[in-house]
């Protein structure tokens, strides 16, 4: 769970379930952070510690993200008599096919039911997602507050050449990269197939995947003996994501579904050209051939050809990157996101005075 940091009459605290980039950024911004290590706690210990923290601070609004946190927040809000419950919805539920996906489907179904019964507002991170959420929840409780970033703090001190050198990649080698969870809905398999297409056309291109997830072992097995076996790097989880992005000539986002991915906005702010599938809220941020390249297909050859277009044409790549930076500065400032969220908080408190 996370909230805005201290702003005027609103004092914010946050509960996070592991120490890392999020907890560090929240602390640096002046937000009180309670870290409850979920790896060392039972669910009831999580509930007990979260409840104690919330109760001791007379919390009036509890704001959660992701289904597990949503369920915990709903219980804690009721247990601690928190008057207002807000959820940020980052996308539709990911597909969980077959018997192996039964647990995931049940969890998401429970999350939807609890959301209908308990949440005062559902925040959609993109306008595209609003339609789905209004079919799922009370339409009057769904609002769009698109993701935003602090453009001034999304930066890397490294020039592209130094960023590549840190990854032990030659400055002359173009880089096509990925940053995100290695999960099926994000289509890392499609990234590899598109990379194979690029690799056959351009023997000088290197590929980088930063992130962890359930598909990691399968992906590493797939590249054995392929054209990618000595041309792709799996970096795992990285706290220096901005420096990693700086090393990319092209960021490829091949997901089946998205809300409005933060890595997209971060890449745009860092001046990295983007090739992405035309899904979810991505077309709200990227205008095809103006601020990036959009692909309406899941054909790896089409995705690969779009990457090749940018790798072959540095002028176009730089032009799209400059325009993307301007779009982020104009439309996706964290100041706007924070102001709209604060307005929502005040509106809820006026409806439910404490």
Helix, strand, or coil (residue 69):
helix
Domain boundaries, the chain: 13-148+333-351, 160-331
160-331: CATH architecture? 3-Layer(aba) Sandwich (3.40)
**CA–CA dist 275, 277 (Å, integer):** 7
- Name the token pair of 189: 């398999």
pLDDT at 152: 87
Q: What is the pLDDT of residue 103?
A: 80
Contacts for 37-42 with beta carbons within 8 Å, 24 or more apart? none
Question: What's the mean pLDDT in 58-66?
Answer: 93
Going by pLDDT thresholds of 50, 70 and 90, the confidence category of residue 4 is very low
The fold for domain 13-148+333-351 equals Rossmann fold (3.40.50)
Indicate the pLDDT class of residue 143, thresholds 50, 70 and 90.
very high
Alpha carbon distance 43, 22 (integer Å): 21
pLDDT in tens, 39-59: 888 889 999 999 999 999 989
Burial 307-342 (b: 16+ CB within 10 A, else e): bbbbbeeeeebeebbebbbebbeeebbbeebbeebb
pTM, whole model, 2 decimals? 0.89
Region of 115 on the Ramachandran plot (φ > 0 left; ψ -120 to 50 alpha; else beta): alpha
Tens digits of residue pLDDT in 303-329: 999 999 999 999 999 999 999 999 999
């Amino acid at each position: 769970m996370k909230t805005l940091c201290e702003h005027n009459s609103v004092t914010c605290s946050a509960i996070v379930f592991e120490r890392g980039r999020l907890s560090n950024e929240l602390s640096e911004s002046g937000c009180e952070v309670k870290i409850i290590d979920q790896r060392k706690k039972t669910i009831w210990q999580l509930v007990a510690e979260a409840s104690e923290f919330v109760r001791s601070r007379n919390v009036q609004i509890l704001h959660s993200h992701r289904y597990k946190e949503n369920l915990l927040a709903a219980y804690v809000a009721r247990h601690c008599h928190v008057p207002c419950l807000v959820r940020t919805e980052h996308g539709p539920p990911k597909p969980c096919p077959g018997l192996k996906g039964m647990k995931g489907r049940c969890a998401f179904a429970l999350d939807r039911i609890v959301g209908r019964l308990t949440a005062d507002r559902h925040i959609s991170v993109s306008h595209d997602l609003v339609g789905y959420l209004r079919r799922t929840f009370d339409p009057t409780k769904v609002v769009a507050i698109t993701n935003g970033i602090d453009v001034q703090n999304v930066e890397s001190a490294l020039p592209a050449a130094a960023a590549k050198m840190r990854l032990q990649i030659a400055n002359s080698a173009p880089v096509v990269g990925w940053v995100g969870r290695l999960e099926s809905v994000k289509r890392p398999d499609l990234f590899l197939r598109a990379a194979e297409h690029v690799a056959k056309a351009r023997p000088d291109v290197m590929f980088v995947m930063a992130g962890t997830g359930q598909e990691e072992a399968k992906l590493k097995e797939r590249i054995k003996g392929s054209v990618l076996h000595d041309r792709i790097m799996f970096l795992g989880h990285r706290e220096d994501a901005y420096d990693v992005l700086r090393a990319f000539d092209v960021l490829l986002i091949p997901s089946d579904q998205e809300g409005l991915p933060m890595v997209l906005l971060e890449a745009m702010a860092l001046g990295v050209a983007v090739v992405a599938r035309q899904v979810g809220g991505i077309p709200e941020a990227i205008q095809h051939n103006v601020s990036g390249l959009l692909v309406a297909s899941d054909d790896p050859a089409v995705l690969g050809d779009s990457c090749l277009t940018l790798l072959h044409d540095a002028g176009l790549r730089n032009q799209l990157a400059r325009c993307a930076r301007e779009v982020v500065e104009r439309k996706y400032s964290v100041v706007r996101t924070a102001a709209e969220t604060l307005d929502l908080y005040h509106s809820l408190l006026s409806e439910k005075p404490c």
